[in-house]
Amino acid sequence: MYISELGITPKYFEYDMMGIIYHSHYLEWFEAGRMKLIQDLGLSYYEMEMSGYISPVRK
């Protein structure tokens, strides 16, 4: 199994007044993680798709 790590520091505007991060921001972080993994594997998203590989989010 390959593990890729990406540190993310939440920004002030992502929190509400109770200190809770709004759920839609997680989608951006998931995509950032997927892009980091692809980059760590030595590919770009475009190269990967042109090679016939796609990475849909299913669940």
> Is 15 domain-assigned?
no
> Is 42 domain-assigned?
yes
> Is 11 domain-assigned?
no
If pLDDT is split at 50, 70 and 90, which confidence band does 59 have? low
pLDDT digits (tens, 9 = 90+) for 3-58: 899 999 999 999 989 999 988 889 899 889 988 988 998 888 888 888 888 877 67
> Is 40 domain-assigned?
yes
> Is 45 domain-assigned?
yes
> Is 50 domain-assigned?
yes
8 Å CB contact between 31 and 58 = no
> Is 7 domain-assigned?
no
- What does the mean pLDDT of the chain come to? 88
Query: Domain of 35?
Result: 21-59
For 26, phi then psi, to 5°, come to -65, -35
Which residues of 1-59 form beta strands (DSSP E)?
A: none
Tell me how many domains the chain contains: 1
> Is 16 domain-assigned?
no
